[in-house]
Amino acid sequence: MRRLGASPSGAGASGARAATATPAPTPSSPADPLSQAAEAYVVTRAASRDAANAPTAVVVESVRDETESVKFLRLRASGEAAVAALAFRPGQWVDFYAPGVPKPGGFSIASSPAQLATRGDIELAVKKSRSSACGHWIHDECAPGDEVRVRVGGRCFLTERDIATRPLLLVAGGIGIGPLRSAAKALTETLFTGPKTSSRPRPLRAVLLYSGKTRAELALASDVEALARESRGAFRCVFHLTGGEATKDPKGGGAEGDPSSSDGGGDAKRRRKNEEGSSTSDASLARTAWVSFRVGRIDAAALREALDDLERSGSREPEERGSKPEEGAVAFLCGPPAMSDFAEAALKTLGVKDVRLERWW
């Protein structure tokens, strides 16, 4: 379910299956007040935009189960005009109009702007909601070939310059990973395209702190792990498991914060050696330095550590990024209200001037 309001502290396609006129599925479980409020917000905002710009028709290219409660959709635009109408920045979302469903849903875009420009598609991760009839349609009826309509919205996002030049602290809770995956993909694409592409290790540019109850509920976790491995040190992700699950690294290493880990904090030491040009192999880098698991919620200490690592990395090669030291890091938050409110307050206490989030649920 999408946002209740933005709170930035800083700055017809061919081949579509015919739309049916069957009534939208009725959620079987009781709706909770926050979900109802979020749906009402989406519907109200969507109605206010209808007169300004009509939604764009797209075709569902694929839909799959990402987790037991999350569907992953790829939507294809047909023609240059449709692609241009869907231009977006990481952090934005779409009003989603499903056939036969009277009210739109609102879902974050999980793919990168470059993917839309080069391939003509966008991707969404949609969690099943007790209140969203549109979300129920996606989980229960959506199939490849369906035609739906979408329209980009959202005032809170990361600009091209943010992605290209500034340190990024990304904080996700649950399905809030969608727009942060978009940002991470945009970063890696920026680093590894063009004439300056190099195979040498990169200074740390972004840290993702991603919280979920269990590994099974971490939507898109394999995607962000792959981005971290491919970034050659520029992007790190730390998974926080809040359900008390054992945290042995599935690739064989102990997780940070796990008593079974044999090095007692060696991950941080190896990470810093790699940042300084260590000859550690890519495989070791992927397993220990740039992907890790911890038990417990994202707290002030985790935020402080991530900011310290970004600052340490940025102090070595500021000229490579073209950023100004006084700008500092951009923090982008997306998750349940309690998590976002805590992280926003903690980051401001830690001196972060540019904190961007949208409140939802």
Check residue 147 and give its pLDDT: 98
Check residue 272 and give its pLDDT: 43
Check residue 131 and give its pLDDT: 84
**pLDDT above 90: residue 288:** no
On whether the CB atoms of residues 233 and 201 are closer than 8 A, the answer is yes
In the chain, % of residues over pLDDT 70: 67
Which DSSP category does 322 fall into?
Answer: T
Map tokens 């991707």 to a residue.
123
Q: Could you tell me the sign of the dihedral formed by the alpha carbons of 281, 286, 290, 295, in that order?
A: negative
Lowest mean pLDDT: which of 85-94, 140-149, 244-253, 329-338? Answer: 244-253
In the sheet where 147-153 sits, what is the strand order? 105-108, 93-97, 147-153, 56-65, 70-77, 121-127
Check residue 347 and give its pLDDT: 98
Torsions phi, psi for 222 (to 5 deg)? -65, -35
Give residue-wise pLDDT tens across range 29-76: 444 444 444 445 445 555 455 546 899 999 999 999 999 999 999 999
Torsions phi, psi for 80 (to 5 deg)? -65, -40
Report which residue type is found at 32.
Answer: D
Give the closest residue to 297 by CA, choosing from 244, 218, 253, 249.
Answer: 244
On whether the CB atoms of residues 355 and 347 are closer than 8 A, the answer is yes
Determine the 3-state secondary structure of 56 from DSSP. Answer: strand
Report which residue type is found at 9.
Answer: S
Cβ partners under 8 Å of residue 32, min gap 6? 130, 131
On whether the CB atoms of residues 247 and 259 are closer than 8 A, the answer is no
Map tokens 């995607």 to a residue.
223
Check residue 313 and give its pLDDT: 85
On whether the CB atoms of residues 161 and 327 are closer than 8 A, the answer is no
Which ranges in the chain belong to alpha helices (H)? 33-50, 80-85, 113-119, 133-140, 160-165, 177-191, 221-230, 266-275, 282-284, 300-314, 318-321, 337-349
Give residue-wise pLDDT tens across range 112-144: 999 999 999 999 999 998 888 999 999 999 999
Check residue 178 and give its pLDDT: 96
Check residue 9 and give its pLDDT: 43
Question: What residue ranges define each of the domains in the chain, with the CATH number in brackets?
Answer: 3-153 (2.40.30.10), 160-360 (3.40.50.80)
The span from the CA of 234 to the CA of 246, in Å, is 28
On whether the CB atoms of residues 260 and 248 are closer than 8 A, the answer is yes
Map tokens 């001037």 to a residue.
353
Helix (H) or strand (E) holding 141: none
Mean pLDDT to the nearest integer, 82-91 = 97
Torsions phi, psi for 327 (to 5 deg)? -70, -35
Mean pLDDT score across all residues of the chain: 78
In the chain, % of residues over pLDDT 90: 60
Give the closest residue to 90 by CA, choosing from 9, 187, 193, 24.
Answer: 187
Check residue 49 and give its pLDDT: 52
Give the closest residue to 192 by CA, choosing from 233, 161, 238, 224.
Answer: 233
pLDDT-derived band at 16 (thresholds 50, 70, 90) equals very low
**pLDDT above 80: residue 210:** yes
Q: Pairing state of beta strands 121-127 and 3-6?
A: unpaired
Report which residue type is found at 21.
Answer: A
Lowest mean pLDDT: which of 21-25, 184-188, 198-202, 349-353? Answer: 21-25
Give residue-wise pLDDT tens across range 304-329: 999 999 999 874 454 454 545 447 89
**pLDDT above 70: residue 361:** no
Which DSSP category does 215 fall into?
Answer: G
Give the closest residue to 262 by CA, choosing from 248, 275, 274.
Answer: 248
Q: Tokens for 30, please give them.
A: 């009781």
Check residue 215 and give its pLDDT: 93
